[in-house]
Amino acid sequence: MLEVAGLDVKYGDVQVLWDISLTVGTGEVVAVMGPNGSGKSTILKAIIGLVRASAGRIALDGKPLAGVPTHAMAGEGVSLVLERRRLFPQMTVLENVRMGAFHPSARGRERERLEWVESLFPILRERRGQLAGRMSGGEQQMVAIARGLMSGPRLLMMDEPFLGLAPRIVGQIVDIIGRINAEGIAVLFNEQNVHLSFSNAHRGYLLESGRIVLEGAGLAMLEHEMVKRVYLGA
């Protein structure tokens, strides 16, 4: 489905990604794990076009995505849930969620999509009229994910979806990722926590200082000597 090959990214004269290659297959959940500042978020931003690649290829189902503007990526079947939610705090929950169906390709199925995301997150139906800025962090994350799903993506990318959330809410988000994936939607997410990354993904990549240093099946990554020694203190 998604193929990233030889990706380099620079911010001005400073290079932050070197020769990144990864794939996400149809129906897969893939995690990119790495410490803060390793370049995890930049990978997702480069895929969706928020930052420009200085080298490499990004393709979806064999179609190059270079030159596709960010606002048109929903039409290609790709959606990104941004780090720290980035909601419109003075708009209601319903207004925020419906913004995800703004692209013309999604408008015809808006009602159907809304029913589905509210079945995933029943609290959003209860809080339709509440201002998004008055919700808790976990509730806001649910709104952000729901908004990302409203475009009907085939690939949902999530930038640190568990950041700052209470353990109970983390468990709920993990469950929702599984339910989303069960609908046939591929998921690519990044995370700093080793267990959250690799125990909830079919495959994983370990990123250090802008380079992929390890990849493999999710649970196998937890048993790898490098991961156990460096990240688990074994």
Q: Which domains does the chain have, with CATH numbers?
A: 1-74+186-234 (3.40.50.300)
Q: Which residues of 95-133 are buried (b: 16+ CB within 10 A; e: fewer)?
A: ebbbebbebeebeeebeebbeebbebbeebeebeebbbe
Average pLDDT for 127-136:
91
Average pLDDT for 208-226:
92
Q: Supply the pLDDT for residue 164.
A: 83
Q: pLDDT category, 178, cuts 50, 70, 90?
A: very high
User: pLDDT of 76-115, one tens digit each?
Assistant: 999 999 887 789 889 999 999 999 888 777 677 888 889 9
Task: Say whether pLDDT at 168 is over 70.
Answer: yes
Query: In residues, how long is the chain?
Result: 234
Q: Supply the pLDDT for residue 200.
A: 92
Q: Supply the pLDDT for residue 233.
A: 65
On the 0-12 / 13-18 / 19+ scale of CB atoms within 10 A, 216 is middle
Q: Which residues neighbour 21 within 8 Å (Cβ) at sequence distance 6 or greater?
A: 4, 5, 6, 7, 212
Average pLDDT for 165-183:
91
Average pLDDT for 165-193:
92
Task: Say whether pLDDT at 46 is over 90.
Answer: yes
- For the chain, the average pLDDT equals 91
Query: For residue 95, which of 149, 147, 158 has the smallest C-alpha distance?
Result: 147
Query: For residue 149, which of 122, 115, 191 has the smallest C-alpha distance?
Result: 115
Task: Say whether pLDDT at 226 is over 90.
Answer: no
Amino acid at position 188, single letter: L
String of DSSP letters for the chain: -EEEEEEEEEETTEEEEEEEEEEE-TT-EEEEE--TTSSHHHHHHHHHTSS-EEEEEEEETTEE-TT--GGGHHHHTEEEE-TT----TTSBHHHHHHGGG-SHHHHTTHHHHHHHHHHH-HHHHHTTTSBGGGS-HHHHHHHHHHHHHTT--SEEEEESTTTT--HHHHHHHHHHHHHHHHTT-EEEEEES-HHHHHTT-SEEEEEETTEEEEEEEHHHHHHSHHHHHHTS--
Sheet containing 211-217, strands listed edge to edge, beginning at the edge strand earlier in sequence: 78-81, 155-159, 186-191, 29-33, 203-208, 211-217
